[in-house]
Amino acid sequence: MNNINRTSRLTWRHLTIAGGAGILLLLLSVVGCLAIGSVRMPFGEITRILLHHLPWIGDQIPVTWDDASAQIMMKVRFPRVLLAVLVGASLGIAGTAFQGVLRNPLADPYTLGVSSGASVGAALLIYFGLQYAFFGQWTIPVVAFVTGVLTLIVVLKMARENGKIPVETLILSGVVTNAFLGAIVSFMVAMSKQTINEILFWVMGSLALRGWPYIYVIAPYFAVTFVVLCAYTRQLNLLALGERQAAHLGLDVERTKWIVLLTATLVTAGAVSVSGVIGFVGLVVPHMLRLIIGPDYRLLMPLSALGGGIYVMWADTIARSALAPTEIPLGVVTAFIGAPFFAYLLIRNKKMRRGE
């Protein structure tokens, strides 16, 4: 019992230190990304504008900026940066959850086809003009969740062999499913005329022209799923020992797996519904964090939210500023970084199994 209490205290201590450093890096990144754009703004002015809009202390900040700067900051840049943080955090915890449940380092919403499945649901609604037909602004997220879950079930069914899910089969199933779903979306693009740009937005991923209403859509998804997934970090640690060992320790393995998988799919659907398909975030972020803090999911899950938010925020900043005034799709930037990293992990995983 003393060892358990000591371990728990060490975990909370590490989480406090690492979380504090992550939050500080996130805040600095927010100010840095807000400063980059066609209109340059000093860091001090950005900080004062943000503090001015906070309750209680806002009235104490003297207004030393013009109204145009405040409008650019609060109606254009800040909501986009905040949305990037929420999308990245959502994909970060989703990737961590998928890898924990499947015990597979190459699993994430993109490689398993879940992101593409969710985007097909969104594209179908856009194609038929039904974006707000059933649940108002929640129509796309709900339908994206349903199609994402169906995609996940199909991929897992295809990959299962004798009750197990081999790495190669899982990845191959994800690739095949991605290709098929991509063909469906490409068909809709070819057949559509008025909605072609909107559908292409989902395929390539972007945060352009996304303001506060989209934050209100994704924020509840992230808040609920973050709490649920963090509550299941102990169970994920047990699953890391193997399903049989976890069951011997009293874990309801199947119930845990489906709760975590469905929750991760839900948060993926929320992200895809506002940003389109953004690949490899859930693959790169958890792996980088494992190298720094280790495999403990009590640390890995919350820090993946911070890491994913920082990662997507800077990727989006590169997307909108690297070739300004032309904007690169966000999914292209993350793929440039993530695809080589995925290839490296695949090669390393093969060598490890061969004992090289």
For residue 329, give the nearest of 337, 321, 319 by alpha carbon: 319
pLDDT for 7 equals 55
Are 33 and 317 within 8 A, CB to CB?
A: yes
Q: Could you tell me the mean pLDDT of each successive run of 10 residues in the chain, 356 residues long?
A: 52 82 94 86 83 78 80 89 95 94 82 85 84 78 87 87 73 86 84 73 80 88 94 93 87 88 89 86 90 89 95 94 85 86 75 62
The DSSP secondary structure of 128-170, one letter per residue, reads TT-TTTTTGGGHHHHHHHHHHHHHHHHHHHHH-BTTB--HHHH
Phi-psi category of 62—alpha, beta or left, where left has phi over 0 and alpha has psi -120 to 50?
Answer: beta
Q: Which two tokens stand for residue 58?
A: 């806002």
pLDDT for 3 equals 46
Q: What are phi and psi of 290, to 5 degrees?
A: -60, -35
pLDDT for 81 equals 95
Cα–Cα distance between 298 and 302 in angstroms, integer? 7
Domains of the chain: which residue ranges? Answer: 2-354
Cα–Cα distance between 239 and 41 in angstroms, integer? 48
The length of the chain is 356
Cα–Cα distance between 329 and 309 in angstroms, integer? 17
Phi-psi category of 327—alpha, beta or left, where left has phi over 0 and alpha has psi -120 to 50?
Answer: beta
pLDDT for 325 equals 82
User: Within 13 Å and on the Cβ side, how many CA atoms surround 25?
Assistant: 16
Q: Which two tokens stand for residue 30?
A: 């927010």
Which residues, at least 6 apart from 202, have a Cβ–Cβ distance to it below 8 Å?
119, 122, 123, 126, 185, 272, 276, 277
pLDDT for 136 equals 76
For residue 337, give the nearest of 288, 267, 274, 276 by alpha carbon: 288
For residue 321, give Cα distances in angstroms to 198, 309, 338. 22, 18, 20
CATH code for the part of the protein at 2-354: 1.10.3470.10
